[in-house]
Structure 1
Amino acid sequence: MPSLTVIERFDHVEEFSALLGAAELSASTEWDESFIADLRTNFQRYGAHTYISDAQLEQLERIANQ
């Protein structure tokens, strides 16, 4: 599946924001922290129009659920 925007993947932008926040709290490696920081930067810049791939979403969920 191609990359979709946050608004296309989530019913509410706040759901993505909450997932991102949970991942920030759960990050346990430098790679995790860097990955989340990059996503956060893109989200701050593009908001609901931030593109996120299936693989990025999978990694974000993995980190948030550690």
Structure 2
Amino acid sequence: MKLHNRISAVICAFISLLFLLIALGSDYWQQIGNLHSGLWNVCMPKCIHIGMAVPPQNGCCGKQRNR
């Protein structure tokens, strides 16, 4: 009986991982009329990216400061 429980747990873990990967990769979690919303975008009918716009820091990606 214990082996059966372990096999069931592994199968459930793989199914939940599959659903997680699909949810993270998909933009269409909800659809209400013309509105599609997901984790990364909201489309109504034009898509708007939802994310953080982080400005570049000195010495990283922008112009370096002369010393």
TM-score (norm 1): 0.29
Q: Max radius of gyration: which structure?
A: 2
Higher helix proportion, which one?
1
Q: Higher RCO, 1 or 2 (CA under 8 Å, sep at least 6)?
A: 1
